[in-house]
Each structure stands twice: as structure tokens, then as C-alpha cells.
Chain A
Amino acid sequence: MKLRIRNETDFWSGVMFIAFGLFFAAFATRYDFGTAQVMGPAYFPTVLGGLLALVGVLVALAGLGREGEGGKLERFHFAELAWVLGAVLIYAAILRWAGLLVSMLALIVISSFASHEFRWKEAIILSIVMAVITYLVFIMGLKLTIPVLPAFLRN
């Protein structure tokens, strides 16, 4: 019998739940399980992981069985995802030594690439404006301790 996925979002949600559930339950085996009276660190995660996997099976089965009502998986836009999250990763990576101002410029310009209406001039102006605003609000105003200047310019 060939299985047909009738509801893709349900089916893959189920798969995701099963994966997470099994992961947590399996990973927990390295800890002490304990007893019902004195629960070890593995007790609760194992029970929950098993429950999650079970829920996942039910969701996935629903995705297989249900009459094809919608549930079509939309396309993943990996380019947008990568620009936005990549910009944040770079921000996090350089913040300590490049300082707030430079990393803010990088964050804004790189994340702007995610838009299908990207314009260089606009992105650069916005990044400078945001660098100034964040400096005024978070450093001057709220006195947060974030390095402002690049490491070689600090004394």
C-alpha cells in the first residue's frame, strides 16, 4: 500500500514532534531516572519526551488520513531566512571587538538584503541613523554597558 500524505503541514509537524520527543527521551537516558517517590533528573523529561513522540505519531497519522483539506506545505524562503538570521549571527560575532556602532551598520545593511526591494543608498542611510539612535537610547539614555567603539579605538 502506498501511503499518501494528504495534509503536509500536519504530517511534518508530527514528524517534528516525534523527532524532538525521541531526542529528549533518548538524551535523558544518561541521567538518573529515580523512582516515582524520588524522581531523578531523567524522570520528567523521559515521560514528556515519550508523550511528545506519541502526540507526534497522532498528528502525523492525522496528516496521512485526513481528506485533503488544504495543509499544503508552503515554500520555504531560505534566502530571506539566511539574510535575516545571518545578519544577526554576524552582529553577535563581531559585537565584542567591533563595538556597537560598526556591528549595527553591519546588521542593518546585511539584513536589508532580505527585502526584494533592497536599495544600497537607503540601507546605508538607515544603518547610520539606527547606529546613532541606538547609541542615544541605549548607551546615553539607558546606560547599558555595551562596547561602543571598535577594540583598537578604545583606551
Chain B
Amino acid sequence: MELLDNLAIGFDTALTLQNLFYAFAGCLIGTLIGVLPGVGPVATLAMLLPTTYALEPTSALIMLAGIYYGAQYGGSTTAILVNLPGESSSVVTCLDGYQMARQGRAGAALGTAAIGSFIAGTFATVLVAAFAPPLTELAFKFGPAEYVSLMLLGLIGAVVLASGSLIKAVGMIVLGLLLGLVGTDVNSGVSRFSFGIPELTDGIGFVAVAMGVFGFAEIIANVEKKGQREVLTSNVGSVMPNGKEMKEAAPAVARGTLLGSILGILPGGGALLAAFAAYAVEKKLAGPNADPPFGKGNIRGVAGPESANNAGAQTSFIPMLTLGIPSNAVMALMIGAMTIHNIQPGPQVMTSNPTLFWGLIASMWIGNLMLVILNLPLIGLWIQLLKVPYRMLYPAILAFCCIGVYSINNTTFDVLVTVFFGALGYLFYKLHCEPAPLILGFILGPMMEENLRRAMLLSRGDPTTFVTSPLSLGLLLAALALLGIATFPAIKSKRQETFQEAD
């Protein structure tokens, strides 16, 4: 079995004492930061990126993956205990998780989330290991035209699956693409949009953008909200769900896992969409007579989305690892991290760096196991952390952000760029423009331009090159279909309904 051989390579790498330590450290620190209200996985990853600079690439990626799962799990903890989602994929967990907590079943909700996530993570890891090699082979058949079509599909996916206005998401993506073009043009050597500032000739740092629009803007938005958070700490209860709860949660976990795995692979998909879809499915299946009703503490409303978002988080690594194309903002950050370590993401990583590739996959499962072991006993600690008032938390968060941004290039210029994007992010927040598509566009901008130029050069300026290659045509048709589905009236209203669940 080739799959087993590959996994053996992976576990050999991931199970060294050193890498186990980094997986553990990543999960722990990721959860610690992710628990903080208003700090989601993207901000957490951006903030903690510098902690991995000194490591060798494999350990660094293993640690970052750990940080990602940790942050996601930390966000769920906050969602259940404080009714304050760290980021959008835990929004749905708030609905029933917080209600469960109010009824004294916080422990069961947290336990279900942890166990469901672990099961989903295990399944998704196997899926990644099984699908990565054939997809990598497909990726080698990709020329520039196919890459352009694929990126277009990814961007359209991100638009369709963004929560909120479609057309505004298009605007944010295009703006992101444009911002990504700032800096030296590789073909002509011309320094574009740099306003004579030497630092800008290297382009805008993606960490600065992510930290600004996700970290800083979020802090300002939270600070201006008056009113107290209510932390439910009185009675967490047993973390093991009781028999009845388990019987209800088990099928929801299975459905969430499957749904999340599929939606995670889709370009533009990932944890967020998976969680929303799983919640909608569970609610639909339970019908109006669910007991207790959805939104009033039904355990299936926690089990389904939590499993789905973890499965989706995992399988969204597939397009990133095989094609080098990020499908969401978190993967965009992972690609950024790989380039910092001089690894060019793409299909060649599997053959040129098999220990890194399979080590990362194996560590996904180990990371998930650690999360369960780590988090159930540590819930008390997270509760203590959540009791710290926000007025003392946000300056600390700000401090970590500032050091993180500074240490990427050891320049204060990046800190200034972050301030600019913090202000811009605040404007986005007030205008209800979602920043996630912007980040995706930002990373894809230069890639897309390069491949577009190459494709057009190869075809001698003939744009039909995108439809004469069957692979490219297929991808474009898929993009068109996706767009068609999203604008189809019946689906459109359904889509709004799904995302409005959260309001």
C-alpha cells in the first residue's frame, strides 16, 4: 500500500521528539491566543508567524498547522462560554453552544466539540493523504492557462461562498488583487505603485495586511462596543456528554465530517462554509419538532458544525499542498509562511520534500489528538483567561501583533503599513465589506498576473487559449456554473437564509 508507506514516512517525521514538541507547542499557544475574544485563526496565525522563523521548515509548518487547529478550537471554546465568536466559523457554534452553557451543560458542549473535531480530523487526514498524490499528478499537467482558470474558479468560489453581498465580495477580491500588484513588476523591473518609497518596491507584506484588517480593525471594533461580556463559569459540568446526548451527536458528527471534508476541498471553501452548511443541514434534518429546538441548546447544532469546520480546515490543505493555490485566507497565510522558508508551494513539494509533505499530513492527526488531550483538562485555565477584562486583553494582543509584524523584516515600516490597513479594515467593517476575499485576492494577484502573461505569450495574444485546453475549459465552466448557481433566485434566497442564521 503506497498510502501506508507515505503515511509511514510522515509519522517518522512527525513523531520525532522535536516535531512532537512543536506540534504540542503550536496547539497550546494557538488555543491560548485563539481563546481571546475577537482573535480568529487568521489573526492568530499572523501574530504567531514570527515564533516559527528560527525553526527548520518542517517543524515550522507543523507548528503553524498546530496553531491553526488550536486557534480554531480556542474560538469554539470562547463561542460556547462567552457567546463571542473569535471568528466567523465559530459563529454558528455560538447559537446552540452558548445556550447549552446557559443550561449548565457547557462541559458537554465543549466535550462534544472536542471529540467531534477529533473524529472529523482523523477522517480528513486520511482523505488528504489519499487525495494528495493523484491531485499532484494532475497538477503537473497544468500550464499557465490552466492555472489562470483555476485561480478564477477559486476567486469565484470565494465570492459565492462569502457571507454577505456577492458584488461587494467581488469588489474586495479585485481590490485585493490590485494591492497584491504593488511592488516591482517581475517582467519589466518597473516598481509599481510604490510612490518612491523604497520599502514598497518589495511589495506590501501580507502579514501586515492580514494583521491590519483582521487584528487591528477587530480590536477597534471591539473596544468601541460598550457593555460587559458575560462569562459562564458557574457550572461547566462534566465534559463527557451523557448517553442521550452521545446518541444524538454521533450521526451529526458523521454528517458534519463528510460535508466539511467535501466543502473544504472546494476553492473558496474551508472551515467557515463547512460550519454554516452543516448547521443548516442539521436544522433541516431535525425538523421543527427538534427537542430542544435549534438555537435553544440542541447538541446537534454544536456537533455538526464543529466537526464540519475541523474537517474543512484540514481538507482545505489539499489545494494548497498540491497546486500551491490557497483556497482561503488561512491557506494564504500558510503559503506566505512556506515562501518565508524558501519553499515554493506547488506540486513539486511532494516529490522534492517528501518528509515535509507527509510529515505535515501526519502531524495534522497528531495535532488533533493533542487538542483533545490538551483541551479537556485545560478548560478551567481558558475560563480564567476569559475572565480577564477586554480592556486589559487588547493592549496585550496589540503588543504581540506589533512585535510580530516588526520582526518579519526587522523594520518599523511594516508596522506603519499595518496601521494603514488597520484603518482601512475599520472602514471595511463599518461598510460591511468582508475582508477575507481581499486577503485571498492579495495573495493571488501576482500569481495570476504572471500566469496570465505567460499564457498570453504562449498563445501569441490569442485569448481562446483558455477555452481550447480541455482542462482549462472545464475549470472555467465550473466557475461559470458556480456563479450561475449563486445568482439563481431560489438558491440566492437559500444562501442568504443560511448565512443569516448567525444574526
Residue numbers of A with Cβ under 8 A of B are: 9-10, 12-13, 16-17, 20-21, 24, 27-28, 31-32, 35-41, 44-45, 48-49, 51-52, 55-56, 58-59, 62, 71, 73-74, 76-77, 80-81, 84-85, 87-89, 91-93, 95-96, 100, 104, 107-108, 111-112, 114-118, 122-123, 126-127, 130, 134, 138, 142-146
Task: Answer whether A116 and B226 are a contact pair too, CB < 8 Å, given A20-B178, A107-B402, A142-B54.
Answer: yes
Whether a CB of chain A sits under 8 angstroms from the CB of B375 is no
Q: Assess whether A122 is in contact with B224, with CB atoms less than 8 Å apart.
A: no
Bound complex: CA A55 to CA B169 (Å): 10
Q: Assess whether A58 is in contact with B167, with CB atoms less than 8 Å apart.
A: yes
Find the B residue at minimum CB distance from A107.
B399
Q: Return the contact of B171 from the options A28, A52, A87, A118 (Cβ within 8 A).
A: A52
Bound complex: CA A16 to CA B416 (Å): 22
Bound complex: CA A95 to CA B398 (Å): 15
Interface of chain B, main secondary structure: helix
Task: Answer whether A51 and B174 are a contact pair too, CB < 8 Å, given A92-B416, A96-B412, A146-B403.
Answer: yes
Q: Return the contact of A88 from the options B181, B402, B427 (Cβ within 8 A).
A: B402
Contact stretch, chosen from B10-18, B126-134, B265-273, B453-461: B453-461
Bound complex: CA A104 to CA B170 (Å): 39
List which B375-414 residues lie within 8 A (CB) of chain A. Answer: 389-392, 394-396, 398-400, 402-403, 406-407, 410, 412
Q: Assess whether A84 is in contact with B216, with CB atoms less than 8 Å apart.
A: yes
- In the complex, which residues of chain A have a beta carbon less than 8 angstroms from the beta carbon of B452? 39, 44
Find the B residue at minimum CB distance from A45.
B181
Task: Answer whether A9 and B431 are a contact pair too, CB < 8 Å, given A84-B216, A114-B220.
Answer: yes
Bound complex: CA A48 to CA B419 (Å): 25
Task: Give, as a whole number of angstroms, the nearest-CB distance from A134 to chain B.
Answer: 6
Q: Assess whether B178 is in contact with A24, with CB atoms less than 8 Å apart.
A: yes
Q: Assess whether B398 is in contact with A87, with CB atoms less than 8 Å apart.
A: yes
- In the complex, which residues of chain A have a beta carbon less than 8 angstroms from the beta carbon of B178? 20, 24, 45, 48-49, 52
Bound complex: CA A81 to CA B391 (Å): 15
Q: Assess whether A122 is in contact with B392, with CB atoms less than 8 Å apart.
A: yes
Q: Assess whether B430 is in contact with A38, with CB atoms less than 8 Å apart.
A: no
- In the complex, which residues of chain A have a beta carbon less than 8 angstroms from the beta carbon of B418? 88
For the complex with contacts A48-B174, A59-B171, A112-B395, 10 further pairs of A-B residues with Cβ separation under 8 Å are A10-B165, A16-B431, A39-B187, A39-B449, A71-B432, A80-B223, A81-B220, A84-B223, A88-B415, A91-B415
Q: Assess whether B175 is in contact with A52, with CB atoms less than 8 Å apart.
A: yes
Task: Give, as a whole number of angstroms, the nearest-CB distance from A128 to chain B.
Answer: 12
Q: Assess whether A144 is in contact with B407, with CB atoms less than 8 Å apart.
A: yes
Residue numbers of B with Cβ under 8 A of A are: 50-51, 53-54, 165, 167-168, 170-171, 174-175, 177-178, 181, 185, 187-188, 190, 192-193, 216, 219-220, 223-224, 226, 389-392, 394-396, 398-400, 402-403, 406-407, 410, 412, 415-416, 418-419, 422-423, 426-427, 430-433, 449, 452-453, 456-457, 460-461, 463
Find the A residue at minimum CB distance from B424.
A16
Q: Return the contact of A134 from the options B399, B415, B426, B453 (Cβ within 8 A).
A: B399
- In the complex, which residues of chain A have a beta carbon less than 8 angstroms from the beta carbon of B412? 92-93, 95-96
Q: Assess whether B407 is in contact with A138, with CB atoms less than 8 Å apart.
A: yes
Q: Assess whether B406 is in contact with A39, with CB atoms less than 8 Å apart.
A: no
Q: Return the contact of B403 from the options A52, A58, A85, A138 (Cβ within 8 A).
A: A138
- In the complex, which residues of chain A have a beta carbon less than 8 angstroms from the beta carbon of B431? 9, 12-13, 16, 73
